[in-house]
Structure 1
Amino acid sequence: MPKYYPELAQRVRSQRELQPGLYGDIDFDTQPFRTTTDPADRSSLPEWVADRAPYLSDERAVELICIATLLGDVVADPYASLMSEYSVASLIGMLQLACRKGIDAVADAPPELVAFIADMEATPPWLDMKLVREGARYSRVPAALLAPFVTRGAFIATFVNTYAALPMALTGALSGRRSARRVNETTSFFAVTTLPGALERHGRGFEAAAMVRLMHSMVRYNALKRSAKWDADVYGIPVPQVDQMPAGMINLYLLATDAQRAGRTEFTKSERAVVEFTRYRAFLLGLPEELLPTTPGEIIHLFHTRAALLRDDFDDATCGEMVRSTMAAYLRPVDTRWERIADAVEKSYSKTAFTKAFCNGDRAVAKTMGVSIGVGDYLRVGMTAPFIIGRLMAVRWANRVPALRQMTDDYMVRLVKLRLNTYGKPEFTSDADDYTPAGQLA
């Protein structure tokens, strides 16, 4: 019986009542094999990051991670399940119309769509939209100047654990030519949400969040209903909220570790704005408030507890192939000599960021995961860093000068929009016809 999070546990159990056809066979009282609290088992928390023992002994944190491991999306999943009645195009069209013009604009809107939109429209009691807007302004700077060079590295970090990576592996959407589209869609989502007004009710970011939720729910539906390879006793719920938390809040984890290294237990004023912006974006993506901590210590503790409970496994046929395929993908919009040079520079930054952040700088470890970094990569980073890092620091300085702030922000908005054109139009869909058995990602 849940001791600390009974309401969240009830939300998990409600999935069977809301979706008996999808979740009727899931045992919500038993943790899947992916979750381990045995100190003798290897987990996804590297020893160089933190000692695992304190997290395993924290009953409250362990309970939260275990519950969130079984939580899908209680409003988007029922809507995605309408794929048995509607075409995917119809579901997307109705959702986009509801986001842009309101639910009343959708003729004969299914009750599942009504509930989906109502959930996103519900204003959480902690929300400070003024702070969200301020956080978006700060977040536009890395979205415009840094994300294009490191997102691929952060993206492939989600593939280094078999249990967390398998849902996307089964879709086949991260193999071969589809890799570039998914990387660009991910980068596009995080970029568009930083634009002015993007997270307002009828903003582009609000709609993008709804589309991402629908895509994840389609993955869940197709994995559970149309894939013979999905074993819920081993993998649990496809794309659980506990796996969406690190993807949606990795920037806060980095902020938190920076604050911790500086000896701070609280965020600065500007950092607090970024926290509010990121938490609201994550809320629109469906994350429960329990997975949206606010202080550096709480954020680090939550990330580390998740890793401490996630069983370690790196299957080369699944994880390795996705990493290699994604690293090899060409992300640029056209194929010219200049764009090829830009692609090579971006890949070098992504390799460097991945190796430093997720392999403790160990090139040999990175290579075992499918990321080979060499002298050429370091040369490309060294030659371009003065411009890339220099421009980032200059813009951050200008943002602190009142007389330059508006002009600087206008420049960031234009640059983010230019980046979005480069990423292409995101589709945010999951087609069951693309699904492949795990380990066969050609």
Structure 2
Amino acid sequence: MTSLDVRSVTELYERVPSPELASSTLLRLLPKFLAEDLRPTQAQVEGFAKYGVTGDPLADAVAAAMKGPGGKELRGQFEQALAHGIDTVEDAPPVLREFFATVEEVPYWVDPEKLQRGAEVTSRMGPLLAPSLLVGLALTYTTPDGNAVLLRAGDTRDKAGTRAVETLSWLSAVTTPGALRRGELGYQSSVRVRLTHAFLRSGMPKRADWDEGRFAVHQQVFSSVIVAFTLVPMVVAGMAGNRLRRKDREAVVHLWRYIAYIVGVHPNLIPATESDTSRLLWMFLDEVIAPDAGSTELGTALIAAYPEIYGVTGKKPSHRVARWLLPQLHSVVARAALGDKVSDVLGFPRVNPVVLPLVGLTMAVTTVWSALDVIPPVRRARTKVMHRSRVKVIDRMCRRTHADLSYRRE
């Protein structure tokens, strides 16, 4: 916690009123932000509410066109534009040109140096990125509207390990240095995620088991996902002993700001600074996050899939130990980042004190290595080594779970 310059939590809570779940979320570990007044005004609450029934008109129009006459040809044109740019597509229909005019535009606020730095900071987490993102993924299961879609699409519950690793693979891709440039893997996969959201939005209301009063995959839901994947890895990295300077944290926020833009999050819901991110999280706590039975169902399915994800399904003693240890270690991360209340609902076990020495050793080693980042050659070398290690870990996870990596295709 010292690497995040944490003040007394008790002191801060005496000064800042909290929404119902604040005491059990990662806001507890971000007191720097709590020093500000994060409470929304009534006008902000009213403005935020409309995004619970807002989709992505440009992507929705493309999805509708792909379902109509000439859809197969349009899909081919989409892939051509995605890989090589809309200008390479002859006689591209207006619906596709309008979509890619926005997607291909690089906003004035995009800073290539910050994108690079944010990706490098994330890369230095190495294999630690996987458990932090798995905990971040679990946090996304605390939105009832999001759960309603996940429980009905893509076997998220029955194939929890596979779906989780597919998400991890995407997250690894978009946080790779240089991957958000036009035509690169992170850029392409993010645009495909945006189109997938549109297909889900159009398909869910046609299901017999869908609640007519619910809006599928609205802006509040996938904006909250962006916030979860921005904050949880930073909190975990700091807890593990990584040296996170303000420039590093702001660079990570900037990286996810651009990812959110490509994925189609409404500009009014994309935080520009770490204070914005915390303020938006505060809004989610008050208005969106409400763990329910679906949270428990999805969370416990994800935890049960850890042996498959990490490849410890065998009968060897080491595998048996690992099957007990993995939920414990992830629970340490979850309870520190999300708090006990949310962690209990998601199905994380109570932490056995036996694992604490291992956690302490990990923190000590990471702190020592991170302290050497002040030496540029060491920092660059550590970034490369940890990134390669992360890629290998996630690639092995993909093979074990037979993850669908079709987003990697040209």
TM-score, normalised with respect to structure 1? 0.71
Q: 3-state DSSP class of the match of 2:330?
A: helix
CA shift digits 1:252-295 (9 cap, x unpaired): 4459989xxxxxxxx82222222211211111111122222234
The residue identity in structure 2 corresponding to 1:413 is: H
Identity %: 22
Instruction: Choose which of 136, 148, 171 in structure 2 pairs with 1:166.
Output: 148
- 1:416 and 2:398 correspond: no
* 1:223 Cα offset (Å): 0.6
Instruction: Choose which of 107, 124, 127 in structure 2 pairs with 1:124.
Output: 107
Contact 1:61–1:302 (CA under 8 A) maintained in structure 2? no
* 1:166 Cα offset (Å): 0.7
Q: What residue in structure 2 maps to residue 179 of structure 1? A: 160
Change (3 A) 1:161 1:245: closer
Change (3 A) 1:305 1:412: same
Structure 1 range deviating more: 133-142 or 401-410: 401-410
Contact 1:173–1:179 (CA under 8 A) maintained in structure 2? yes
In the alignment, the residues of structure 1 paired with residue 406 and residue 174 of structure 2 have an alpha-carbon distance, to the nearest angstrom, of 15
Instruction: Choose which of 218, 240, 261 in structure 1 pairs with 2:199.
Output: 218
CA shift digits 1:153-184 (9 cap, x unpaired): 221222234233111112152121x2112111
Change (3 A) 1:398 1:107: farther
Alignment of structure 1 residues 12-411 onto 2, 5 Å: 45-46=21-22, 58-85=41-68, 94-106=77-89, 109-142=92-125, 144-176=126-158, 178-224=159-205, 226-233=206-213, 235=214, 237-253=215-231, 268-310=246-288, 312=290, 314=292, 316=293, 318-329=294-305, 330-332=308-310, 335-336=313-314, 337=316, 344-358=324-338, 360-361=339-340, 366-373=343-350, 375=352, 378-379=353-354, 381-382=355-356, 384-386=358-360, 388-411=362-385
CA shift digits 1:375-416 (9 cap, x unpaired): 3xx53x435435543453344333321132222222133223
The residue identity in structure 2 corresponding to 1:162 is: P
- Where does structure 1 lack aligned partners over 5 or more consecutive residues? 1-42, 259-266, 430-442
* 1:121 Cα offset (Å): 0.9
Query: How many residue pairs are counted as aligned between the two chains?
Result: 365
The residue identity in structure 2 corresponding to 1:417 is: V
Change (3 A) 1:257 1:361: same
Contact 1:133–1:197 (CA under 8 A) maintained in structure 2? yes
CA shift digits 1:17-52 (9 cap, x unpaired): xxxxxxxxxxxxxxxxxxxxxxxxxx874566689x
Contact 1:161–1:312 (CA under 8 A) maintained in structure 2? yes
Change (3 A) 1:406 1:306: closer
Change (3 A) 1:251 1:214: closer
Contact 2:296–2:346 (CA under 8 A) maintained in structure 1? yes
Q: 3-state DSSP class of the match of 2:181?
A: coil
In the alignment, the residues of structure 1 paired with residue 312 and residue 101 of structure 2 have an alpha-carbon distance, to the nearest angstrom, of 40
The residue identity in structure 1 corresponding to 2:210 is: W
The residue identity in structure 2 corresponding to 1:212 is: V
* 1:206 Cα offset (Å): 0.3
* 1:198 Cα offset (Å): 0.3
In the alignment, the residues of structure 2 paired with residue 309 and residue 286 of structure 1 have an alpha-carbon distance, to the nearest angstrom, of 21
Contact 1:138–1:274 (CA under 8 A) maintained in structure 2? yes
Change (3 A) 1:411 1:271: same
In the alignment, the residues of structure 1 paired with residue 366 and residue 54 of structure 2 have an alpha-carbon distance, to the nearest angstrom, of 38
Contact 2:81–2:87 (CA under 8 A) maintained in structure 1? yes
In the alignment, the residues of structure 2 paired with residue 401 and residue 84 of structure 1 have an alpha-carbon distance, to the nearest angstrom, of 55
- Where does structure 2 lack aligned partners over 5 or more consecutive residues? 1-18, 29-36, 237-244
Q: Which has the higher helix share?
A: 2
Structure 1 range deviating more: 178-187 or 334-343: 334-343
In the alignment, the residues of structure 1 paired with residue 176 and residue 363 of structure 2 have an alpha-carbon distance, to the nearest angstrom, of 22
